[in-house]
Structure 1
Amino acid sequence: MTTTVKISEAKTHLSELLARVEAGEDLIITRGNDPVAHVTRVRKQSDMQLLLAEVKAARLKATPLSHEELLSWRDEGRR
């Protein structure tokens, strides 16, 4: 989710806004109606390693597709 705030509000509530960014929310800071900055969370290396571990675990649980099954999914709705 992206939140838009004016500079004055960002200065007043900076700690709260940064906590929301750390939780995954994006922030656009505007001067009037013109966007001047996009604030987003910096991903740590450990975050990426955790994500890769989750993906690898999910792939191990998945059953492999047969060639015929893959082709039937590709062709679904074409007839």
Structure 2
Amino acid sequence: MQMNIAEAKAKLSELIAAAEGGQEVVIARGGHPVARLVPVGRPVIRIGVGDGLVSRVPDFLAPMTEGELQDWE
């Protein structure tokens, strides 16, 4: 979407909503593009970054086997 400066001033909140929705908004002066309105990127929070890197995690609350008890003695 391209819009001249005067029209963009009147519809700024609509243009911001369009940019947040992923639409490219170009502001022009005299028919020539001079600015582009884009949303500010939010930091991405990744959960499970190490997914698949650890193959087996021991159950620390499980009772020890006889062999493990002997190793501690």
Report the TM-score when normalising by structure 2. Answer: 0.57
- Percent identity between matched residues is 37
In structure 2, the partner of 1:19 is 17
What is the alpha-carbon distance in structure 2 between the residues aligned to residue 39 and residue 16 of structure 1?
A: 12
Within 5 Å, which residues of 2 pair with 1:41-60?
41-46=39-44, 49=45
Q: Going by fraction, where is helix more abundant, 1 or 2? A: 1
Cα drift, residue 39 of structure 1 = 1.1
2:35 aligns with one of 16, 34, 37: 37
Larger radius of gyration: 2
SS, match of residue 15 in structure 2: helix
Report the TM-score when normalising by structure 1. Answer: 0.53
- Structure 1 segments (4+ residues) deviating >3 Å: none
